[in-house]
Amino acid sequence: MAPPKLSHLVVNTSNYEVMKHWYIDVLEATIGVETTDHSACFLRIDESHHRFGMFNVAETDKSASMTRPGADAGSVARLNHFAFEYPTLEGLCETHARLAGSSTTPSICLNHGPTMSMYYEDPDKNTVELYYDSGYTEEDMVAFYAGGDSYVLSPTPFGPAEILNGLRGGKSVAELIAWSPPGE
């Protein structure tokens, strides 16, 4: 199995526009995707549409975007999470099975649409995302983020063991990761 690669880093900020423009300038980045309501932005510095991202939050915000995915409500963090991308969905789910054998379990597993993501807490309580890229094109990503918070903040939970069993049983990746927008 190919090893995962460090993929992206996401921070929370109450200084969204200043931070966005600072990182665009410092990294010579372009905006890969940004929600129409300016609640989230992902910057492109290479071939990836979201190598570095930020969530626009109020300093006192305790919402889902300010707390870490899968963390206790109100666990405020400036570093939202960092992520490692797996080249195959099977590799991601096999990692879940291997870690579960040593009692390391994810806080939550979410089908975000563009990614199948498992969130773990490291021993220092940092949120680490292990994920598989679902193959969205850049146009798909722009359309996805144009849906605003209802898309971005409405992922669907999934069971990695069920996905792995489906793959081993001959189901296609596309069939196993199908995602529908909220309300559809």
Q: How would DSSP label each residue in 86-142?
A: ESSHHHHHHHHHHHHTTT---SEEEE-SSEEEEEEE-TT--EEEEEEE----HHHHH
Tell me: the pLDDT tens digits for 11-69? 888 888 988 988 888 678 899 889 888 888 999 888 887 788 988 887 655 555 445 55
Q: Which of 130, 118, 115 is nearest to 49 (CA)?
A: 115
pLDDT for res 139: 82
Residue with the two structure tokens 């490692």: 84
The CA distance from 98 to 117, in Å, is 16
Residue 157's H or E segment, with its range, is strand 156-157
Tell me: the pLDDT tens digits for 140-183? 777 777 766 665 667 788 999 999 999 999 999 999 998 776 56
| Percent of the residues in the chain that have a pLDDT greater than 90, as a whole number | 28
Q: Which of 177, 184, 182, 174 is nearest to 162 (CA)?
A: 177
- Asked whether the beta carbons of 47 and 100 are under 8 A apart, the reply is no
Find out if CATH 3.10.180.10 is the number for domain 5-177: yes
**pLDDT(72) > 60:** no
pLDDT for res 172: 95
- What's phi and psi for 117, nearest 5 deg? -125, 135
- pTM summary value: 0.70
Of 149 and 103, the structure prediction assigns the larger pLDDT to 103
| Percent of the residues in the chain that have a pLDDT greater than 70, as a whole number | 82
Instruction: Print burial letters for 86-95: b (CB count within 10 Å at least 16), e (below 16).
Output: beebbebbbb
Residue with the two structure tokens 């570093």: 79
- Give the pLDDT band of residue 102 (cuts 50, 70, 90): confident
Residue with the two structure tokens 């460090």: 6
Paired strand residues for 111: 116, 156
pLDDT for res 64: 52
- What's phi and psi for 154, nearest 5 deg? -125, 55
Long-range contacts of the stretch 69-75 (C-beta < 8 A, 24+): 69/107, 69/108, 69/110, 69/117, 69/119, 69/127, 69/129, 70/106, 70/107, 70/108, 70/119, 70/121, 70/127, 71/107, 71/121, 71/125, 71/127
Domain ranges, ordered by start, for the chain:
5-177
